[in-house]
Structure 1
């Protein structure tokens, strides 16, 4: 079976490696620090606990948190917690923190019970309601901390790589005719306090990213606050084509279409980038490229 045709771009791969490594290292360091702290507290209290137990308690919790990171990343893209959205998103995040805590508690208790059983012991977590309330009082702080870390990282990334927006129409520029979409010729990109223009025709491909659409231009990525449907309606249909629910390509950059057994296709652009093409868009793309 052919692998899923997602674009193997070096900057994206490096970024993803850094992001995965960050969460793994943070979990490891936090687990070690917390384990040592609990061990010291146990010794001070004169309690007779085997050394492996505090390590299990902390790392079972940390591993479940780590497993929940992908879901948290998806959720924060769907419900971004920004200065202009926090009132609307707060109820969703309050609910999500409860679900987050339930999954965390169930996961870590399952791990602890399994490990205790291998040692011929039983791990007790009761009464459930009281213990869950106790865990939730800790978990909501972990939830807030993880969401804050994710949003801060995305904010810094947008500032470092630049953030695009549509240029406002000049006062003397005629408005589009009724029923005709307003098609931008250029985008304004702000990066580290400087502004420059990107021509729409220079865009190689676009990718959906939550409340943003990433404009990929000559190997650089600029997020634009928009939906895929919104930006698709504003791009020149003779030059740009939707090929996937998350991708739009500049037809002038397309070099090759590789059909897949699944009915989908893999697209290769002139710069070597490979993108997926859904079967629902493949026939329409072919008809655009082959003259009648």
Structure 2
């Protein structure tokens, strides 16, 4: 595509156009591979707000680094041909805006492709190792794989098609929707108290009225979870 674009520039022959295309594409390929690795191995494991902030920062860095590499390679080419000194002037005006915009757009294309390849889920995969009801599963954090005992789960928060699991010792993300999780959990222990929350009543400290027939659950970890009306009713049904 870049070759076709540069061939349209008056005065550019095939060799010059191919050189200009390579100068743009070679750094881009390296940066795209690095961005894909960073997103897959790190950003996807973060919480949603952290992922958003991380993508904004990495996108800006991606555009700046690509701009610098392309500028530097063009100046090296010019110096080699003319035999002059290296002078890194860079792009100006509309060319600068266009180059920076390309960098941002290309980064988001890489990010979108990375999420699509992973099934659109920004979390670590889960390998189920027991029959329903779920008792234990494996989760990955970076290169490490660790077992998680379901009885240690305090609450599960859903976001799109992955779940944020809070245990007695910390939090992790898994590639399982809240609905999928609910189907594998022991209904005598886990209650869907909201469309985006499941709590483990083994780790419920207490619940208090919040008005309008709703309750607020205070978990053993100190987390406060607002319950929907139906979730409040489900919790009240356990009162004996």
Pairwise TM-score range, normalised by the shorter structure:
0.5 to 0.7
Could you tell me which runs of 5 or more consecutive residues in structure 2 were left unpaired when the two chains were aligned: 1-45, 68-89
- How many residue pairs match? The answer is 173
- Name 2:129's counterpart in structure 1: 167
Shift of the 260–29 alpha-carbon distance from structure 1 to 2, 3 Å rule, reads farther
- Name 1:199's counterpart in structure 2: 149
Q: Is the 8 A contact 1:185 1:201 kept in 2?
A: yes
Shift of the 263–232 alpha-carbon distance from structure 1 to 2, 3 Å rule, reads same
Shift of the 152–218 alpha-carbon distance from structure 1 to 2, 3 Å rule, reads farther
Give yes or no for the alignment of 1:247 onto 2:197: yes
- 1:39 and 1:201 mapped to 2: Cα distance? 60
Deviations 1:75-133 (A, max 9, x none): xxxxxxxxxxxxxxxxxxxxxxxxxxxxxxxxxxxxxxxxxxxxxxxxxxxxxxxxxxx
1:210 to 146, 160, 175: 160
- SS of the counterpart of 2:133? coil
Give yes or no for the alignment of 1:144 onto 2:109: yes
Shift of the 37–149 alpha-carbon distance from structure 1 to 2, 3 Å rule, reads farther
- 2:95 and 2:140 mapped to 1: Cα distance? 51
- Name 1:101's counterpart in structure 2: none
Give 1:140 deviation, angstroms: 6.9
Higher Rg = 2
Q: Is the 8 A contact 2:156 2:166 kept in 1?
A: yes
Please give the residue correspondences for 1:29-40 in structure 2 after superposition, counting only pairs within 5 Å: 37-39=91-93
Give 1:202 deviation, angstroms: 1.1
Give 1:232 deviation, angstroms: 1.5
- 1:14 and 1:213 mapped to 2: Cα distance? 10
- 1:261 and 1:279 mapped to 2: Cα distance? 10
Please give the residue correspondences for 1:108-187 in structure 2 after superposition, counting only pairs within 5 Å: 141=106, 143-148=108-113, 158=123, 163-168=125-130, 182-187=132-137
- Name 1:266's counterpart in structure 2: 216
Q: Is the 8 A contact 1:268 1:274 kept in 2?
A: yes
Could you tell me which runs of 5 or more consecutive residues in structure 1 were left unpaired when the two chains were aligned: 1-12, 43-53, 63-136, 170-181
Q: Is the 8 A contact 1:265 1:282 kept in 2?
A: yes
- Name 2:173's counterpart in structure 1: 223
- SS of the counterpart of 1:237? coil
Give 1:269 deviation, angstroms: 0.6
- 1:234 and 1:211 mapped to 2: Cα distance? 16
Give 1:148 deviation, angstroms: 4.4
TM-score where L is the length of structure 2: 0.53
- 2:47 and 2:165 mapped to 1: Cα distance? 19
Shift of the 157–280 alpha-carbon distance from structure 1 to 2, 3 Å rule, reads closer
Whose strand proportion is higher, 1 or 2? 2
Q: Is the 8 A contact 2:59 2:107 kept in 1?
A: no
- SS of the counterpart of 2:237? helix
Give 1:245 deviation, angstroms: 1.0
- SS of the counterpart of 1:271? coil
- 2:142 and 2:229 mapped to 1: Cα distance? 40
Give yes or no for the alignment of 1:23 onto 2:56: yes
- Name 1:130's counterpart in structure 2: none
- SS of the counterpart of 1:232? helix
